[in-house]
Amino acid sequence: MKRAAMLAIFSVGIGIYCLIPYLWFALTSWKSPAELTAIPPKLIPSFHWDFYRSALEERGLLRYIANSIIVAGTATGIAIAIGSVAAYALARFQLPWTNAYLLLLLAISMFPQIAIAGPVWNLLNHLDWLNTYRGLVAAYIALSLPLATWILTTFFREVPHEIEEAALIDGCSRFQAFYKIVLPISTPGIFTAALLVFINAWNEFFFALIVLTDPNLQTLPVGIALFPGEYTMPWGEIAAASTLATVPLILLTLLFQRGIVRGLAAGAVKG
């Protein structure tokens, strides 16, 4: 019984640690302006939607959300398409430098953003891609490819060779074998990889900050970080925007928890 009590205490502790700071902030978004600055703070708000209204109508939150969906969605789609073809080659063709290449990708994923930011900015500037969706999407594809390739290679290696070999003997080309047989079998893996890439792209801040300076094109993290207000911070609107940016992610995470943990572990433990 002592063990059960201790586990309960620790579990509640972990739950408080993970939830309370965020709940406090999310609940702020439903407060009225008077409740926002009240001392002692009101824990349970009176569920006003005013901050949401002003964030959406006056501060163009909808545009940031749309930009984020476009950029993160496109980058995820292309990165998974390119990454799965590459991962198939790494998993199936017995290439002498497969492991070296995977290690190289791992090294890239550890690059500090600042170490490549200046030249990436220059490159996009030369292409005239600054302040365009495609500029940021291109950068995100490159930054997600290490993670996507690692996870997908791990998944493709688990697909048995036999079915595919039968198809090859029947006259399928390598590419047909890949997209008609291996791809459908690996749907869960591809979904996991896509989810992790999407979450990363949705949350990315550094490159979004330097590539998009036009407020009409900026993504949610940039919008939330640069919320205007020199003297009085619009905390209610910031909390409302933050909640809208986070709730979809939390839902995705809770729904696909097993897949995410497995994907993270595949990327991490086999490193």
Partner 1 sequence: MRSSHRLAFLFLLPSLIFVGLFAFYPIFESFRLSFYRSILTLPWLGQKMVGWENYTDLWTDPVAAQSLRTTVFFVVTTIPLELGIGLGMALVMNEVFRGRGLLRAIVLIPWAIPTVVSSQMWRFIFNDRYGLFNFVLFGGDASRYLAPLADPILAPLTIIVAEVWKTAPFVALIVLAGLQTIPDELYEAASIDGATVWQQFRHVTLPLIRPALLLALLFRTIDALRVFDLVFVMTQGGPADATNVLSFYGYKKIFAEGMVGYGSAIAVGVFLVSLILSLVYLQILKSSRLERTPR
Helices (H), 29-112: 33-36, 50-57, 61-92, 98-109
Nearest approach in angstroms of CB 164 to partner 1 is 14
The two tokens of residue 120 are 């990436």
Phi, then psi, of 31 in degrees rounded to 5: -85, 165
Nearest approach in angstroms of CB 213 to partner 1 is 10
One residue of 34, 66, 107, 163 binding partner 1 per CB under 8 A = 107
One residue of 1, 17, 126, 162 binding partner 1 per CB under 8 A = 17
Asked if residue 208 lies in contact with residue 136, where contact means CB atoms within 8 angstroms, the answer is yes
Nearest approach in angstroms of CB 174 to partner 1 is 6
Nearest approach in angstroms of CB 176 to partner 1 is 12
Question: CB-based contacts of 218: which residues, under 8 Å, 6+ apart?
Answer: 64, 67, 208, 212, 226
Q: Segment 128-187, which members bind partner 1 (CB under 8 A)? A: 138-139, 141-143, 145-146, 149, 174
Q: Count residues binding partner 1 (CB under 8 A).
A: 89
Q: Is 14 in the site for partner 1 (CB under 8 A)?
A: yes
Q: Is 202 in the site for partner 1 (CB under 8 A)?
A: yes
d(CA 144, CA 202): 12
Q: Nearer Cβ to partner 1, position 85 or 185?
A: 85
DSSP state of 42: P
